């Protein structure tokens, strides 16, 4: 088993889309936290800008490594709590590292 704790020098949070209803009967909107803890960050590509319609969109790929946590899916997002302000990454892929040792999250940062 590898010692990953020295590499995990960031604090992160994983969120899932909120579901259910508010007390007034309206559908719940927003995101709900499902995990929070240390993470390692590895930038895979330089940020680039593309034009999406009339807006410029900055994107960049980053791989995050966290301790193993069951149930993490690409329908969720990763929030870098170490950044100020916090930075949001869409999870595009999840890969198990070792035997339930860690998860590698392939993400893309998008700022509009």
> How do residues 8-30 score in pLDDT, each as one tens digit?
999 999 999 988 777 787 777 88
Instruction: Read off the pLDDT of each residue in 63-72 and give the average, rounded to a whole number.
Output: 97
Residue-wise pLDDT for 74-89, tens only, equals 999 999 999 999 999 9
pTM: 0.80
Residue 94 and residue 65 in contact, taking contact as beta carbons nearer than 8 Å? no
User: Rounded to whole angstroms, how far apart are CA atoms 77 and 106?
Assistant: 10
> The domain 10-111 is classified under which CATH number: 2.130.10.10, 2.40.10.270, 3.40.50.300, 3.40.50.12280?
2.40.10.270
Please list, in sequence order, all residues whose beta carbon lies within 8 angstroms of the beta carbon of residue 48, skipping any fewer than 6 positions away: 58, 59, 60
Q: How far is CA 43 from the centre of its chain?
A: 13
């Amino acid at each position: 088993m590898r010692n990953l704790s020295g590499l995990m020098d960031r604090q992160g949070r994983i969120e899932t889309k909120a579901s259910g209803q508010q007390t007034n009967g309206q559908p719940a909107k927003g995101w709900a936290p499902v995990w929070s803890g240390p993470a390692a960050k590895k930038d895979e590509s330089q940020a680039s800008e593309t034009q999406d319609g009339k807006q410029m969109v900055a994107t960049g790929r980053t791989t995050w490594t966290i301790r193993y946590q069951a149930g993490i899916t690409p329908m969720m997002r990763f929030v870098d709590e170490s950044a100020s302000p916090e930075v949001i990454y869409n999870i595009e892929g999840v890969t198990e590292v070792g035997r339930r040792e860690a998860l590698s999250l392939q993400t893309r940062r998008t700022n509009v």
